[in-house]
Structure 1
């Protein structure tokens, strides 16, 4: 009897959740050609076509839909068995604060994986502004904070950001973003779509454009990233977003388009887990390590 290969299943699940081979490749630390090769081998083993490929990415076939839940269960049981043998199970309540710019299209699926992986973990998640997460770092508002900072592309992040022991999770490009029909017609006064003034991204964008003497107005203020994306898709203006926060209905402006809009270059966005507090429990430390591996 032939069995499924766990790494091929992991690749399949990641591709389905990412929507394309190119988007899944960096998450798997593989080249797109290696991802394609693993999927080909999985389909040969299954004896059926699992994915349809098109210009907009990939989608599971009927057989792929049937396999995806089995694949998730197999991978989850695999991880649970290994963690149990190593006494790495998490049993307790954890309060997690997450910046609203962190992978908003994927965060629900990530949390579901955590639930499936650590069945005894009671996770309480609060979406907060990065500035608020930093400000509350030494208080008892949450146990672990996942925040964002802006990093010059040629330099390193400030050493103090996140405290000693901060764990960098990922770095993403930052782009000017708009709906396709808006991007085609540059405006003399830039219509900005931003979060409220308390948002560090709002403050950064306003200060940057003011320094560059680029005329702008706040065309729309959204309460969170999902609402901001809806405003962009509705054509209400231009915003600044990290790569994983851009919704399918909006697009990053390429260099030529940004130049026509007279928009300045942007730094990178870096996501990280805040370092441990003094006197932090062993459970919180283990949870931070598990989150770093999962996120």
Structure 2
């Protein structure tokens, strides 16, 4: 059986992360036509349609989502092999401030892989609200920040933060009837959370009667409250864990926009080990 092409997998992952072929092209240093050609070869190799293309961009199909998990793992292993054989090492102590909305099901595995690849690296991780991470930059409390932001209306400029991935927001409940109660019992993080503010603004704009039924201290608590049937919440795609049901238009809930996850930009004069860890995290987390 012929193996998968690592460059084609990298192209596929970039399209999923940036939302379209044209948006992924500059990050891959390829033309849009070259990106399309690579995707055509990958789909032909697997005899499967991997992307749904439309006016608003490209999203992975069911087969594409299955491949995406394997592709991320294979790319990370490829990078680890290069670092191992070229003798690159990381030593020192680095503190990472991380929003708990970011890929909660897999971030632990990614950090464990980093520790295995670089046993001389002491990586301290703190979970914090995105608003605090953004407002505290630069901060002596952490070296690298990873925050969630509402999708911008303009493209990022040179020197700004690094976009890692973009995800859709969904209403979720314990079952498919959860979103039909009025006033709608809303579960959210405390005031100051950008997603809580967006949820309230969206409901008020669409004139949906609601009440704040429960305030959780973190995403894990929010997931447990939803699964227990205390109400509904708005979560990014990778935060929708077992026991949570996505609520459709039949619930009368308004559509939600996308969110983006960013690595904050490098600081002037930061230690070389911090810069290397940021580059490594960018590849692993993508």
- TM-score, structure 2 as length reference: 0.71
Query: In structure 1, how many angstroms separate the alpha carbons of the residues matched to 2:147 and 2:261?
Result: 6
Where do residues 1-295 of structure 1 align in structure 2 (5 Å cutoff)? Answer: 79-80=79-80, 82-151=82-151, 155-156=153-154, 164-183=159-178, 186-254=180-248, 256-257=249-250, 260-261=251-252, 263-295=253-285
Instruction: Report if the CA contact (8 A) 2:168-2:259 is conserved.
Output: yes
**Cα 1:253–1:30, aligned 2, differ >3 Å: closer, same or farther?**
farther
1:93 and 1:105 map into 2 onto residues whose CA distance is 25
Computing the radius of gyration over CA atoms, which structure comes out larger, 1 or 2?
A: 1
Q: Distance in 1 between matches of 2:255 and 2:241?
A: 21
The DSSP-based 3-state class of the residue aligned with 1:180 is coil
Cα 1:30–1:140 shift into 2, 3 Å: farther
Q: 1:192 to 1:288 in 2, by over 3 A?
A: same
Deviation at 1:145, TM superposition (A): 0.3
| Runs of 5+ consecutive residues of structure 2 not aligned to the other structure | 18-37, 48-64, 67-72
Structure 1 stretches (4+) deviating beyond 4 angstroms?
5-8, 29-37, 78-81
Q: Is the 8 A contact 1:80 1:118 kept in 2?
A: no
Stretches of structure 1 that go unaligned for 5 or more consecutive residues are 12-22, 38-56, 59-71
CA separation of 1:181 and 1:84: change in aligned 2, threshold 3 A:
closer
Task: Return closer, same or farther for 1:119/1:36 CA change in 2, 3 Å cut-off.
Answer: farther
Q: 1:186 to 1:169 in 2, by over 3 A?
A: same
For 2:238 and 2:215, locate their aligned partners in 1 and report how far apart those are by CA, in whole Å. Answer: 20
* Cα RMSD for the two superposed structures: 3.4
Q: For the Cα contact (< 8 Å) 1:79–1:117, is it kept in 2?
A: no
Secondary structure of the 1:102 match is: coil
Deviation at 1:181, TM superposition (A): 4.6
Contact 2:161/2:264, CA 8 A, preserved across alignment? yes
Counterpart CA distance in 1 for 2:100 and 2:44 is 32
Q: Deviation digits for residues 190-227 of structure 1, max 9, x if unmatched?
A: 10010111211112212222233321101111111011
8 Å CA contact retained: 1:98, 1:126 = yes
Could you say if the C-alpha distance between residues 94 and 252 of structure 1 is closer, same or farther in structure 2, counting changes exceeding 3 Å?
same
CA deviation string 1:239-290 (max 9, x = no partner): 1110000012102222x32xx42x2221101001000112212221111111
Aligned residues: 236
Moved more, 245-254 or 205-214: 205-214
**Match of 1:112, SS?**
helix
